[in-house]
Chain A
């Protein structure tokens, strides 16, 4: 079984659309994260949730809204997609939110906005 799974793997859409990316972890972890990897492979954290509570919210446009229905899921909803949103989005999870804890990453969702 995949520890951290993201769907879809690829997402191609038009500017202005609204889309969601789903993430699920079966590791029993309390903390989940969303990262964005841009075209230059630079990885930057976007959000982090611990037990369904938002604990990290970096400077991200409010078109991006994370939703955590339970601690095993952290979905990312994006409104009014723009060309600059094209990137690979990675979900990750860790046992706790502390810095010592290893983060386990999903395989990524490649978003292309046309």
Chain B
């Protein structure tokens, strides 16, 4: 089955700086890669996703890049703000998305 590895497990960034979280996946058939943000005690919420026919996608301060050859994808957050502090999860899924495999999460802390 699919295996998703996520790094780093914790990340501290000065407010206003950029944060990058990286994930690798094992199944070359995976074609959908979402990123979820989870605040303490809350449910995971989708913040951005990318499909395998696209190399990069941006949404305001958030961007995701995908390298299918190397089987890795990354989340980039620019101009970080205190409300960006949360745990971020990457995930991967194949055709039909019946089985979404998650990474182990990155706890991002924005230092004011």
Genuine A/B complex: no
